[in-house]
Amino acid sequence: MTHAAQSIRRGATTLRTPTIAAAAQEELEAAASEAERIESVAALIHGGFTDYYRRFRQIAGLAKAAFEARDWPASIALSQERLGIYGATVETLVPVILLHCPDVQGRDAFWAEVEERYLPLIEGLYHADLAYAFLNSVRRQVHAGMWRASTYSSARARDEDKAAHPVVTRVFGADGPLQAEHLVPVLTLAGFSRRWRDLDSDAAAVAARILEEAPGADRIRAIEMADAGFYRNRGAYLVGRLLIEGGEPVPLGVALLNEADGIHVDAVILGSDDLQYVFSSTLANFHVTSEHYHEMASFLFELMPDRPHGLQYSTIGYNHIGKIAVIRQIERELMQSGERLDHAVGPRGTVAIGFSAPSLGYVAKVIRDHPTAGYKWGKFPGVRSVLQKYSRVHEINRAGSMLDNVIYYNVTLPADYFTDDLRHEILENAGENVIQTGAGLLFRHLIVQIKMTPFPVFMEQADEAEAEIAIGNLGQCIANNAAANIFNKDLDGRNYGVSKILKVYLFDYDAIEDLTDVKVRTNQNRFDGEEDIPDWFFEEGVIFLPEELETHLRIEDRNLRRIFRESHGELLTMDYWTDMQSRLEQGQVPRLTPYREACRLHPGS
């Protein structure tokens, strides 16, 4: 291991165990009065947040260093660390608070005074909204198990009057045509310590691709780039836009790889749709070397306006600010449209009740107390088990084919947001997790995902060309999930959704299992006339027969079945699945390219 790699590993290791500010903990232990306890709890939470945020910000720099050192295990470990560090810090604080203040559960007056002491500690900070969200997370965890409405949206969370911080830099500006040398400052923007394979050649290739494919390329007058590097898994990305005289800006992404002989450009991503796929919530979040997350999220939204603003925060790792932004957006859009939440488009779920509004960009779900009669899997494992599966998907690299989830706990929505029919169904069928409190519905849990068109609904509406693209992308979705060690034992096409750019995603997770735990079997080795029960019938666990995949997916059209077999026939074979299981068990991670092959400078390489 190189010295650089050892330094990264040491840096990552120091982040794994949250610590509590010793002075604040000692003050709480010594507190002799209610006032002193309140003061000490506020200081303790502030100290915990300060420790968390310092370590959170360190991770972006370590991710850049991991890219430069080609230390891919460290890169993956840093992603996992960042996902868990917030919750781990909160979970470290809560037992300390309950040990010294055992009577504070449900005491609103106590927490109101803690908040009053806490707010001056975070006043003036850029990240005051994140610090305030942290306080509410601690409070929610202290109240865990109680029917207590929690705060996810507050006017105190962000001072909108503060001056914006610049996160965009103009790298090139001229009256003449774009030249290869103009791309050199674009490619070197992140300031890598690692050498380039051939910087001049890459600059020429990127310029040629832009001039060939970008709309209005002959009228490019400037290039603006986010003043940061974006890091994920083995790759690094530079993101910006081409400013076109007399035309709309063209979003630009440059995908970089670091091979043994140096850094090089792998792909040039032009246009909002392709860039949106790279930044999709179906992939792991990016590490971004900029602390100004509000301005960065706004810039990304300008580049990808079809992707909800709230999800731009989650894309760059600020999941808790993203949760606040999403719930605010839902409230704002419902108020502006006057629409009410009703059953989501598509078949009713057997495990979850899904709901949305026509113009809303999200679908919300609550898990039923008990599944409907259509449930296929024997004894229902319970709501907690299903929520754990949704949480697991949030915490893994979703391989470009699984929707991320925003999960809220103890959140209240006004009852008049809902149609009467939907409200009655929720209270009747999810009453162990939803109650009506005055003019609101209090959800113990609420799952929110970006809205997709359910696969069967899409296929009914699609023309022939669209259907053929979607059926191929369905197979790619299944293959990508397998590469992430995810197997959806309910392979019914109703569990998949189609995006505006015809990508297909799995969005129901109550039936997911580890692929490595699935028993892949076949009936194709049986002779005609054999009427005995196959041996696998008596095995316990999840049994999968690949030759029955098409039947499960409900692909009825013969032409579409032919296209599916031509593009993904390997999914119908036992060898494909057992080979994938073997590779996963050996710790191999199949490479997944988060952009179209056509975007690459050297496709097929």
- Give the model confidence (pLDDT) of 251-274 as tens digits: 999 999 999 999 999 999 999 989
Side-chain-facing half-sphere of 435: CA atoms under 13 Å: 9
> What's the rounded Cα separation, in Å, for the pair 302 and 167?
13
Q: Does the pLDDT of residue 83 top 90, yes or no?
A: no
**pLDDT of the residue at 113:** 95
Rounded (5°) CA angle 115-119-121: 120
* C-beta separation of 563 from 538 below 8 A: no
Write out the H or E segment, with its range, that includes residue 448: strand 440-450
> What's the rounded Cα separation, in Å, for the pair 442 and 415?
9
What's the whole-number average pLDDT of the chain?
87
Average the pLDDT over 119-133 and give the result.
92
> What's the rounded Cα separation, in Å, for the pair 497 and 34?
53
Take residue 396 and report the two structure tokens written for it: 């893994």
Beta bridge partners of 514: 486
Please return the burial class of 242, using the count of CB atoms within 10 Å of its CB with bins 0-12, 13-18 and 19+: buried
Winning range, highest mean pLDDT, from 31-40, 74-83, 183-192: 183-192
> What's the rounded Cα separation, in Å, for the pair 526 and 534?
8
Residues recorded for the chain: 605
Non-local CB neighbours of 404 within 8 Å, separated by 6+ positions: 281, 282, 311, 314, 393, 394, 398, 449
**484 C-beta neighbours (distance < 10 Å), count:** 20
Which one, of 16, 157, 3, lies nearest residue 84 by Cα? 16
Q: Does the pLDDT of residue 2 top 70, yes or no?
A: no
Whole-number percent of the chain with pLDDT over 70? 91
Take residue 422 and report the two structure tokens written for it: 């939907």
User: Could you give the residue numbers annotated as active site?
Assistant: 404
> What's the rounded Cα separation, in Å, for the pair 308 and 332?
13
> What's the rounded Cα separation, in Å, for the pair 240 and 253?
6
**pLDDT of the residue at 253:** 97
**pLDDT of the residue at 604:** 67
Kindly state the DSSP code that residue 123 receives in the 8-state scheme: T
Rounded (5°) CA angle 28-135-323: 160
Give the global pTM.
0.84
**pLDDT of the residue at 162:** 58
Q: Does the pLDDT of residue 599 top 50, yes or no?
A: yes
> What's the rounded Cα separation, in Å, for the pair 393 and 388?
9
Residue 14 — very low, low, confident or very high, per pLDDT cuts 50/70/90?
Answer: very low
Amino acid, single-letter form, for residue 184? V
Non-local CB neighbours of 394 within 8 Å, separated by 6+ positions: 83, 404, 405, 407
> What's the rounded Cα separation, in Å, for the pair 559 and 390?
35
Whole-number percent of the chain with pLDDT over 90? 56
Q: Does the pLDDT of residue 155 top 60, yes or no?
A: no
> What's the rounded Cα separation, in Å, for the pair 409 and 390?
13
> What's the rounded Cα separation, in Å, for the pair 603 and 599?
8
Low-confidence winner among 10-14, 286-290, 379-383, 597-601 (lowest mean pLDDT): 10-14
> What's the rounded Cα separation, in Å, for the pair 238 and 492?
38
Beta bridge partners of 441: 413, 436
* C-beta separation of 179 from 207 below 8 A: yes
Average the pLDDT over 577-581 and give the result.
94
Residue 591 — very low, low, confident or very high, per pLDDT cuts 50/70/90?
Answer: low
Residue 528 — very low, low, confident or very high, per pLDDT cuts 50/70/90?
Answer: low
Q: Does the pLDDT of residue 121 top 90, yes or no?
A: yes
